[in-house]
Homo-oligomer: A and B are copies of this chain.
Amino acid sequence: MIETKIKELGLELPPPPPPGGIYHPVVIVDKMLYVSGQIPMRADGSLITGTVGKDMSVEEGQRAARQVGLTMLATIQAQLGNLDGIKRLVKALGMVNCEPGFGSQPLVINGFSELMVELLGEQNGKGARSAVGMILPRGVAVEIEAIFELK
């Protein structure tokens, strides 16, 4: 039970963010669940912004990526009612707000991946992954889109 583990770990899901544009937060086709790009929303609804490697450390970026994971679960929970249907993470595209010369995107996105392993386990919490740098909306530090497999 993912919700039980979230409580056991003392974690808190933020409020599910309203879509910041014209899209569905989640689309399901058969047993594949596609999640729109999620951003790091704190429990109070504020966003973690910054340019990693410039005005934010890699460690701060990792915490932002972990918060993206919590936001993603809040988004899925709001759509499905609960998180019981999730079987495994299939794929994630981890996007880090950074400038040319920054090279630690994989370390930053590990903050998301560690959370997924804590909650879904070593086998199902790891997916295929890319971790790269780009220019993110509203100055958020990290954005991640993902595909999950449902049970």
Contacts and interface: CB of A to CB of B under 8 A. Distances in A.
A24 B125 CA distance: 9
Contacts of A139: 101, 103
Bin the interface of chain A by size: 35 or more
A105 interface: yes
Given A23-B113, A90-B29, A130 B99 contact: no
Contacts of A149: 29
Interface string A116-131: 0100000000111111
Given A133-B136, A137-B105, A126 B37 contact: no
Given A23-B126, A113-B22, A131 B34 contact: no
Contacts of A105: 135-137
A2 interface: no
Contacts of A145: 93, 128, 130
A32 interface: yes
A34 B132 contact: no
A135 to B, nearest CB: 3
Nearest to A112: B22
A114 interface: yes
Given A29-B90, A100-B135, 5 more contacts: A98-B135, A99-B135, A101-B139, A105-B136, A134-B134
The 7 closest A-B pairs by CB, nearest first: A37-B130, A133-B135, A23-B129, A22-B113, A21-B106, A34-B128, A36-B128
